[in-house]
């Protein structure tokens, strides 16, 4: 039994099409593909990069936008496609492994090329930071090393802390106390997000009696934490543009 429902789409993926961030318009496969990107969380991750850049005294907006693009490709496309390749992840059921791998490479290759460009032309410090991010992208999403790095703490480090440092480094080729403080903000908010996301996904996948209220509460937490990070980045951008 492969879990597929009517129309050739998997039952689990059909359930995921009702996630709050999945569009309600368009063909079902399109909606699932958009859902696979986890776009609010991908924007949250990219916002950490922007926050790091905006902490710099001098902001090169082209570098900031370039590095934001790197993370949108690497996380929004590549990492979520790799994550969906795991047999316990229902999001990938509407695409086969070869399609998911092609999608992952389509995001990862240009992200690596663009990141390398900034490493060579602007900030050599991005090389070790980028290598660490690539390591976590692979070991976390593919659950390598028996899932040793697939934990909430490593998630918060790779998904919240390091992107702030990367955003600052692309501007100044350095890491300082304000960037580390910004990284702690990224770590804390990412830690809250993943701790709300895990039970939320579990209850969505296997609802129990009375779980609707818990799901609604966790969904509000997720929306709130995403909104707070995006609002922080927007506020810092507005301030930087007004200087």
Is residue 213 included in any domain, yes or no?
A: yes
Query: What is the SS3 assignment for 168-204?
Result: HHHHHCCCCHHHHHHHHHHHHHHHHHHHHHHHHHHHH
Range of the domain at 134: 29-242
In this predicted structure, what is the pLDDT of residue 211? 81
Is residue 55 included in any domain, yes or no?
A: yes
- pLDDT means per 10 residues in the chain (243 residues)? 36 62 86 89 97 97 98 96 79 80 96 98 97 96 90 96 98 97 98 93 78 89 97 97 88
Q: What is the DSSP letter of 18?
A: T
Is residue 197 included in any domain, yes or no?
A: yes
Is residue 138 included in any domain, yes or no?
A: yes
Is residue 20 included in any domain, yes or no?
A: no
Residue 54's CATH number? 1.10.600
Cα distance between the two ends of the chain? 61
Cα 24–Cα 30–Cα 31 angle in degrees, nearest 5: 30
The total number of structural domains in the chain stands at 1
In this predicted structure, what is the pLDDT of residue 56? 96
Is residue 4 included in any domain, yes or no?
A: no
CB burial of 204-234 (b: ≥16 within 10 Å; e: otherwise) equals beeeeeeeeeebeebbeebeebbeebbebbe
CB burial class (10 A; 0-12, 13-18, 19+) of residue 131?
Answer: exposed
In this predicted structure, what is the pLDDT of residue 146? 87
Is residue 185 included in any domain, yes or no?
A: yes
In this predicted structure, what is the pLDDT of residue 1? 28
């Amino acid at each position: 039994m492969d879990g597929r429902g009517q129309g050739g789409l998997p039952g689990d993926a059909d359930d995921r099409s009702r996630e709050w961030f999945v569009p309600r318009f368009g063909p079902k496969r399109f909606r699932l593909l958009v859902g696979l990107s986890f776009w609010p969380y991908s924007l949250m991750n990219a916002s950490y990069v922007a926050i790091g850049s905006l902490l710099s005294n001098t902001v090169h907006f082209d570098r900031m936008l370039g590095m934001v693009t790197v993370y949108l490709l690497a996380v929004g496309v590549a990492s979520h496609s790799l994550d969906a390749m795991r047999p316990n992840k229902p999001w990938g059921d509407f695409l086969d492994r070869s399609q998911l791998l092609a999608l992952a490479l389509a995001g990862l290759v240009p992200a690596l090329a663009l990141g390398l460009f900034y490493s060579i032309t602007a900030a050599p410090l991005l090389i070790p930071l980028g290598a660490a991010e690539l390591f976590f992208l692979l070991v976390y999403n593919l659950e390598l090393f028996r899932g040793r790095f697939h934990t909430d703490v490593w998630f918060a480090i790779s998904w919240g802390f390091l992107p702030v440092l990367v955003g600052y480094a692309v501007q100044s080729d350095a890491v300082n106390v304000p960037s580390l403080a910004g990284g702690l903000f990224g770590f804390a908010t990412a830690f809250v997000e993943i701790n709300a996301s895990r039970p939320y996904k579990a209850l969505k996948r296997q609802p129990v009696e009375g779980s609707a209220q818990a799901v609604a509460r966790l969904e509000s937490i997720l929306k709130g934490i995403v909104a707070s990070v995006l609002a922080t980045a927007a506020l810092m951008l507005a301030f930087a543009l007004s200087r």
